[in-house]
Amino acid sequence: MKIMKFGGTSVGKPERMHQVAQLITKTDEPKIVVLSALSGTTNSLVGISNFLAHSDRVGAKQAIDTLEAHYRSFVLQLATTEAGREKANAIVTEHFEFLNIILRISFSEALNKDILAQGELLSTKLFSVFLEEQGIDHLLLPALDFMTIDANEEPQLGSIKVKLSQILKHHADKKLFVTQGYICRNARGEVDNLKRGGSDYTASLIAAAIQATVCEIWTDIDGMHNNDPRVVDKTVAIKQISFDEAAELAYFGAKILHPTCIWPAQQMNVPVKLLNTMQPDAEGTVITEDAGSVGVKAVAAKDGIIAIKIKSSRMLLAYGFLRKVFEVFEKYRTSIDMVTTSEVAVSVTIDSDTFLEEIVKELEPFGTVEVDKGQTIVSIVGNEIAKTDHVLQRLFESMAEVPVRMVSYGGSPHNISLLVNSEYKIKTLQLLNKGLFGL
Ligand code: ADP
Ligand code: ASP
Ligand code: MG
């Protein structure tokens, strides 16, 4: 059985949904199709939630009406028969009635999650209507019946596996299943989600749970590129990378993959393919245990980073200092991305300011604490990077004009990370494209 996940742009127009139906019926192999919300929908739902969080019911109502109008015109072109259109419209009515009802309910975090779930519920139900119209036998699997996260918001792979295999066993006669990406239930049994971009995570979790033959991520670009195509002109698709490389790229900002979506597939050794819905014949990128080749493969950037420096002459020859520093971050469940040390100071980076004040307060007894916000981590990722000819020389020569705040090299054989002020991000990515890839 294989997994085929289609992102927002791949289902964002009626003709694209028609094309997805063709792509999933090309072969007889049993499959689970995971769909995102139509492009723009989750952003709109976030907007509606924000209006409600600020008690702006008029703003929320306007945003709901605009979104509903979009869906009404979408179903007109999606369905090809009157009966199909009626069914699709009834689905739109049901979900927009829900959104209109919540206008009258007091806002809560649980309600916010319910609002955010509407996108994937709509896309899968509408797609199912279209498949039915086309006489394509399939079953709509509610993700809320099997996709769960624990109290730490970590997916429960073991229980997902048990629940999903029971469901599939029950429907052994079916070959095509459609389900929602992104949405899940939390430890309290409420509707929740796997964070923005989380449909990739759903696909990988399902792939691992059922030991799929392959997990295909269909999107709007022909695979993982060597650099961020949104800010660099000349980028090229990479044919093959390892799970470790892909995980580093996803975590350090390559938007094509959800930051933590690689581990489930990696754990069960299910190959992941990145493919282009708009160019289905393009080769794409294959992600396996084997990296394919040695050397630098790609560069990615992660914004919104905060650098914290703790300077103390008492650190000199003191053991236990780093442990005490790290314990503060552990206490506030804030993960550290980069670490550099000198004899008298340690610098770390974090990507969340939720507990920044508390963390700084608890670090102050250890020495002078300096905080720099607005930083970007630029990661150079590859397989056994050190084996690339003159890699450090090329890296630093190409970036001579950019002030670098921190450098991390040697933590893994796959990554060199640099910390720069975010105003230098685009320039850094462009310079590295020339310096490392000659593009
Ligand atoms: P989907 O809606 O299908 O999940 P996303 O927008 O989440 O698609 O991811 C695809 C986008 O990721 C591409 O359109 C591209 O602009 C962006 N992207 C950023 N970095 C990379 C990269 N290194 N390789 C490919 N795409 C990238
Ligand atoms: N629809 C969700 C989002 O926009 C999940 C996804 O597309 O992967 O973040
Ligand atoms: Mg995505």
The predicted-structure confidence for 118-153, as pLDDT tens digits, reads as follows 999 999 999 999 999 999 999 999 999 999 999 999
pLDDT in tens, 81-90: 999 999 999 9
Q: What is the pLDDT of residue 376?
A: 98
CB distance 9 to ligand 1 below 6 Å: yes
Residue in 171, 294, 200 with CA at minimum distance from that of residue 242: 294
Q: Tell me the CA distances in angstroms from 352 to 304, 357, 373, 376, one per residue in order.
A: 8, 11, 10, 13
**Ligand 1 mean position to 294 CA, how many Å?**
24
pLDDT value of residue 95: 98
Nearest CA to ligand 1 atom 9: 256
The strands making up 176-180's β-sheet, listed across from edge to edge, are 139-141, 176-180, 31-35, 2-6, 215-219, 272-276, 285-288, 240-242
Query: Is 56 a residue whose pLDDT tops 70?
Result: yes
Average pLDDT over residues 48-71: 97
What is the whole-number distance in angstroms between the Cα of residue 221 and the centre of ligand 1? 7
Q: Taking CB atoms and a 6 Å cutoff, what residues make up the pocket around ligand 2?
A: 7-8, 36-37, 42, 119, 181-182, 196-199
DSSP string, 164-228: HHHHHHHTTT--EEEEESSEEE-TTS-EEE--TTTHHHHHHHHHHHTT-S-EEEEESSSS-BSS-
- In whole angstroms, how far apart are CA 41 and each of 25, 45, 102, 176, 253? 26, 6, 17, 25, 22
* Secondary structure class of 296 (helix, strand, coil): strand
Does the pLDDT of residue 233 top 80, yes or no?
A: yes
Give domain limits for the chain: 2-220, 297-437
Pick the CATH number of 297-437 from 3.30.499.10, 3.30.2130.10, 3.10.20.310, 3.40.50.300: 3.30.2130.10
Taking residues 334-355, report their average pLDDT: 93
pLDDT tens, position by position, 93-107: 999 999 999 999 999
**Residue 220 CA to ligand 3 centre (angstroms):** 10
Q: Look up the CATH number of domain 2-220.
A: 3.40.1160.10
CA 258 / ligand 2 centre spacing (Å): 9
Asked if pLDDT for residue 390 goes beyond 90, the answer is no
Q: pLDDT value at position 316?
A: 56
Radius of gyration of the chain (CA): 24
**pLDDT the model gives residue 167:** 97
Q: What is the pLDDT of residues 10-33, one digit of tens each?
A: 999 999 999 999 999 999 999 999
d(CA 413, ligand 2 centre) in Å: 31
**Region 188-200 average pLDDT:** 98
314 CB less than 6 Å from ligand 1?
no
**What's the confidence (pLDDT) of residue 317?**
58
Q: Which residues of 143-163 are buried (b: 16+ CB within 10 A; e: fewer)?
A: bbebbbbeeeeebbbeebbeb
By alpha-carbon position, which residue is closest to atom 5 of ligand 2? 197
pLDDT value of residue 411: 85
- The atom of ligand 2 lying closest to the CA of 201 is 8
What pLDDT is attached to residue 151?
A: 96
